[in-house]
Structure 1
Amino acid sequence: MTADAPQLRKPKSRPRFSWSWLFIALVVIFVGLSYAWHWDDRGLLWLREQSASASERAASVWLPDYKVDIDGKSLVGLEKDEASDLSYDPVSKTLYSVMGKNAFLAELSLTGEVLRKIPLVGWSNPEGVMVLGNGVIAIVDERQHLMTMTTVTPETKTLNIADFPKYDLGPSVDQNKAFEGVTWDAKNQQILLGEERPPALFSWKSDGTAVLKGDKQKLSNDNLIMRNLSALYSDQKTGHLLVLSAESHLLLELDEKGNKVSFMALVRGLNGLSQTIPRAEGVAMDEHGTIYMVSEPNLFYSFKKK
């Protein structure tokens, strides 16, 4: 008998590469990123900005008209301290910032010079600061969920949390991403507070003194097109609110009803920025309309209208 001839095996066919599946996957990724980063919302807001009338622009802060004037200046001596917020004092014509890593209050010039450092005894993680007037400065501690109403004079050398009235801000959805933003709305006699994540806004009645009235109230935050909330500023000329997001590299303007008005993307090449602002944590404005920002760890910015 003769041996059977060996049978040739057919090579296994490789699965065909499907461009359609790749396209679908890319679309899903793009939609996911668009949802997470609110690219669609920004696109719609940009289109809305293009059709805004001259009167609408004049009645708002109108962020597209701003261009950087001081671009990422280092705050000398604060390299390891992580600037966390910013507030303008119209009496002294200076800015106050809190340091979240090493707890102290820093007074800055409008050009980013460090004028003095005031140690904060008893604070664990100060993330928000607000000048109310008459020497009253509120400091928000994110870790302790407290807002402390301090008094600061030109002679103040140190502040001890035990010496001042404190207000419990209550629990947050994410206890590690609690209250960061705080601003004084003199027109409506209220303090506005911002929760970092998920971004949320609250109000607390105040007459500008160290004594608050009632309890804080949650506001609608449907139009906060950002991943996190870093800081707030209430503009008394327009009644509008500026909301800053470090993770979204975004400064957003809302009107008194909470509607989106304008925005500024804090990225390289826009509004004159030479580099993307790495982590914008504080925003303030003076009576001339100049916008100031600080970014971790120790970068200082100012923006002026064109």
Structure 2
Amino acid sequence: MRYDISRDAICYGFFMRLLKRVIVVVLLGVILFMVRDDIRYVYQLILKYGDKPSALALSSYKAVIQQKPVAGVKSNLSGLTYSAEDRMLFAVINNPPELVWLTTEGQLVGRMPLQGIHDPESIAWSGGNQFQIGSEKDGAVYKTQVDIQRGAMQIISMVKLEGYDKAKNKGLEGTAWDAKNERLYAAKERKPIMI
């Protein structure tokens, strides 16, 4: 028995395979376009730092406590830093803007409103009674002086971060203070991820 496959069926099969490949290529192009800034940033990091192993050996780090509710704080607790001066943890709440301080076991000790800082997302202790508080909405970091005894906070200065201010809810999410070099690091959440 002999089957005749028509020329139209062969052309149709070829066309469908070609169409599938074109669709896959277009989809890959769209995905790459959407993440291009992140890819470019990671590439720049690789060029700058290479594949150097971390001196901190973070891959072997295991958290003792994954998540702990803080009595007296309903939600929106964000950012966490340790003050060697006060021997306490400090965190910010973004809505309403507040600064809270806790024991190292996570017990709430005190709180105060953050006047003049909108949408605080991060905090870093920078020595003495000074803290760097990051505001996602403003794309800025505020250098503050905090007196927990009087429940008072004073803004010393403010720095706007380039590229962080128009990020809506994808902006400044973390700050860290390098005491040795007196340098502030700021982390952007996404689009693109940045430090």
Cα displacement (A) at 1:168 = 3.2
Q: Whose helix proportion is higher, 1 or 2?
A: 2
Counterpart of 2:77 in 1: which secondary structure? coil
1:164 to 155, 167, 175: 155
Partner of 1:111: 105
Q: What RMSD in Å do the two structures reach over aligned CA positions?
A: 3.4
Structure 2: unaligned runs, 5 residues or longer: 1-11, 43-50
Change (3 A) 1:174 1:105: closer
Partner of 2:187: 194
Structure 1 residue 74 corresponds to structure 2 residue 65 = no
Counterpart of 2:64 in 1: which secondary structure? strand
CA contact (8 A) 1:104 1:118 kept: yes
Which stretches of structure 1, 4 residues or more, deviate above 4 A after TM superposition? 21-33, 35-38
Give runs of aligned pairs for residues 84-233 of structure 1, distance below 5 A. 84-159=78-153, 163-172=154-163, 175=166, 176=168, 177-196=170-189, 197-201=191-195
CA–CA separation in structure 2 for the residues paired with 1:173 and 1:147: 10
CA–CA separation in structure 1 for the residues paired with 2:164 and 2:141: 18
Change (3 A) 1:65 1:154: same
Aligned residues: 166
Counterpart of 1:64 in 2: which secondary structure? helix
Q: TM-score, normalised by structure 1?
A: 0.44
Cα displacement (A) at 1:66 = 1.8
CA contact (8 A) 1:173 1:198 kept: no
Cα displacement (A) at 1:123 = 1.9
Highest relative contact order (Cα 8 Å, sep 6+), 1 or 2?
Answer: 1
Change (3 A) 1:75 1:186: same
Change (3 A) 1:173 1:23: same
Q: TM-score, normalised by structure 2?
A: 0.66
Cα displacement (A) at 1:97 = 0.7
CA shift digits 1:188-237 (9 cap, x unpaired)? 22112223341222xxxxxxxxxxxxxxxxxxxxxxxxxxxxxxxxxxxx
CA contact (8 A) 2:130 2:144 kept: yes
Cα displacement (A) at 1:89 = 1.0
Seq. identity, %: 23
Q: Whose strand proportion is higher, 1 or 2?
A: 1
Cα displacement (A) at 1:179 = 2.7
Cα displacement (A) at 1:105 = 0.5
CA shift digits 1:161-206 (9 cap, x unpaired)? xx422223145266113333221112222112223341222xxxxx
CA contact (8 A) 1:103 1:126 kept: yes
